[in-house]
Copies of this chain bind each other. A is one copy, B any other.
Amino acid sequence: MATPHSPLQSEACPIVQVIDRVAGKWAVSILIAATKAPVRYTELERNIPGISRRMLTLTLRNLERDGLLVRTVYPTVPPKVEYTATDSARELYRHLVGLTEWAERHQPDIIQARIAYDREHATAA
């Protein structure tokens, strides 16, 4: 960490804020999509399995509010809205990629660890 002090002061730790901001898989999914190319509302709805309209809208608003997405409205007859990742978001995305790579590397380990743990702590059947 840039500031190796205040080890356990979670409130002051910026990473907590990032986690909170990105908390919920929806934000990340949207961010990933929008970083690759400007995306439309319906496009996101189709490409993110299981997301509800409500959460899509809510998450989009939050990301927009935090300056991670830019919302562009084209006043055409069928309304068209595009969401574009800002530079800030693209930079964040690079770090998320770091996490992705970690996840990919350790996914098998985690799965194994869970299996082992569950077997160990199995509810006597």
Contacts and interface: CB of A to CB of B under 8 A. Distances in A.
Contacts of A3: 104
A79 to B, nearest CB: 18
A73 interface: no
Say whether chain A's binding surface is mostly helix, strand, loop, or mixed.
helix
A8 B115 contact: yes
- Identical subunits present: 2
A62 to B, nearest CB: 10
A92 interface: yes
A98 interface: yes
A55 interface: no
A107 B14 contact: yes
Contact of A65 (B22, B47, B113): B113
